[in-house]
Structure 1
Amino acid sequence: MSEYVFRNVSQIGEREYQTVIDGQELAQMWRDGIITYNPEIQRGTKVKVGKDNSEVEVAVFSKANVKKIYTSMLSGQYFTDMITLNILEDGSEKIELDDEGNLTVDGEINIADGQHRIRALAMILEGNEKGNLAFDLTELKFPVKITHYDVQTAQQQFHQFSQGLKISSSRAEYFNQTGLANIVVRELMKNSDLAGRVEVVRNSIPKNDERHIVTFATLVNAIQLVYEDLETRVQAIELSKYLAEFFNELINLIPELHNYEKRAQSKETSLVGENFMFYGYVAISRLIRDKENWKEYLPLINELDLLKSSKVWYGEVIKGGKEKGYTIVNTIDSRKTFVNKIAKMFNKLLNERTA
């Protein structure tokens, strides 16, 4: 951590401050690492493979958006708007606002809203220093809101920002701290074998993704759809405890869920290892939840007709065919159809087993 002093600051709330900073200072703060990107309160990270095949986690942002802002600034067409910085509350930070309006910060300062704008400013600064540009960044004056929040509160703030941004529903849902289904999924990510297997940035699982088996948004949507009577936080915590056990058993039972090679091969013809299949898995979890020895019924999943070529799914859930490849129809209607059909098929197997 390094100490930084913001000038001409006014306090606008218990943990909120406001000032004006020009583009030159913001660009220098970013370049010097005074303002940093914290994936926990922003768009997350993605894995980039280098020339030596090494994997590096990098920030998620749109190069195209940065370029558009860069061009707009250089052409004099850019209208400055508010940037939000957050002083991370983690117990080690120190902040002090004196009578002169100087806010002294010794702590981690993260970009909360304005990542693309700051990157564009940094590009111009670099161009100026290399002699390729001669743009006066001090002419751009930005109103800056400075907050002092912990990670959870900063995530909630970004959730509000994200309502008007083009980010994935998985990332938007990840920042929603209050939804009951979100609480359940966050607990599963901490206390079950789903830890490290839930994609929180994208809405889908890329073919070459060896780690993730389901997206945050899919799990949230599935729980909301199947457990529609979830009403309190206490119920959410209780459900998360059961689902943690359920998914631990499920991941151990289904090879596709713990073996990337088998999952990649299976996806060519089967729904078993697909992200979409978690709507079915959550539906099954509800069917057996109240059964005394529910674990003994889980293997019935292996008896379900989950082939993509099956007539059961064609049209409503699956499109395409062997030659051009199968496509999963992922809509509200198709999810409901899938959940209902999986429940009906599994119920039939349950009745046959217990008859």
Structure 2
Amino acid sequence: MYLQNSNYKILSNIGSGSGHQVFKVQHNQTSQILALKMEKNSNLGQLEEEIQKLKELSGIIGIPKLIDYGKTKDFKSYLITPLLKRNLQEIAKESLLSLHSTLAIGLSLIEILQHVHKKGILHLDIKPENIMISQPYINVPVDQILSPGFIQLIDFGLSQKIGRKPFLNKVFVGSLRYASRQAHKGNQLGYKDDLESLLYVLVYLRNQKLPWQSLKQLQSQQLEIRKIGEMKEALFNTTVLSQKFPPQFQQFKLYIDSLTQVAIPDYEYIKNLFKSMLSIRDHSQSIKFTGSATLSQSIKGTKQKPNTEQILMLLENLPNNDSIDIPEDLIDTDTQIVLISELINSYSTNSIKSITDIKF
């Protein structure tokens, strides 16, 4: 299979998303191996916004270089970037990352986000799958992880400019595991939401799971969005998420919570928190879960519907490997929240260039 200009030959399919596929390609003249991202449907227009974002972010270390872009013979937009080695999701499945490796990844991403946010751009889909490394292995000295370009942030398909009017009310943007609490509410997002998603990524890398992954599979996607959002809200100001980190990680979390949606974060303060954590040689876990009753058993054992304070208390006493089953009557499902991917896939013309163009 060849692209329209016959400069690239597609070698293999290496991944896919809701509206695109990723291929390994070879430049016919130089034989260079590259990555090509292509729309699944012709004239969808989704990649055009990402191409524009990559142009604006050109020169930022840690953002893949936009090498080429265009359309195929069947009018599918594509973009070409360097082929990176592996993403953090693949790495996390294989082994548990050390504390210092996790913190070094976090510090590198904060540095990247500082430059991205300076351009007024929100990523809005930070997750392990969208964080790549430029080398085959992550098991390297911390200094190498911190070296410019080792960590790469990819996929700006859901990104948008800060300060735009809300593109749609009550639309869920991001990934369920890592989206911010405001994303679960369908609210307008800001710089702090990228930082909150990064925090969840670091907790996942350190623990190989997040507390809300223990939720039983739900019948409706909207209920799942609501329940996970409620769990994040209940857990965020506890010590559950920071139990395998030094105390400064809790400060990072509290700082995120103190920011407004329009506030510009103090990145130097955040970076100094991570540098201080990296300087710690050894530390013990600060929190151990206690108790044997499951959260659902504790809730069902109450005569009245528990308030937020009671839920927080139950969550803090939840055993590490417990299964969570929050009764549906504790969750407000009146608000309808829609996945942005469902809306994007419902369009088949180039009338949509970005998420701001989506209409009900």
Q: Is the structural similarity TM-score above 0.5?
A: no
Q: Larger radius of gyration, structure 1 or 2?
A: 1
User: Which is richer in helix?
Assistant: 1
Q: Relative contact order (alpha carbons < 8 A, sep ≥ 6): 1 or 2 greater?
A: 2
**TM-score normalized with structure 1 length:** 0.29
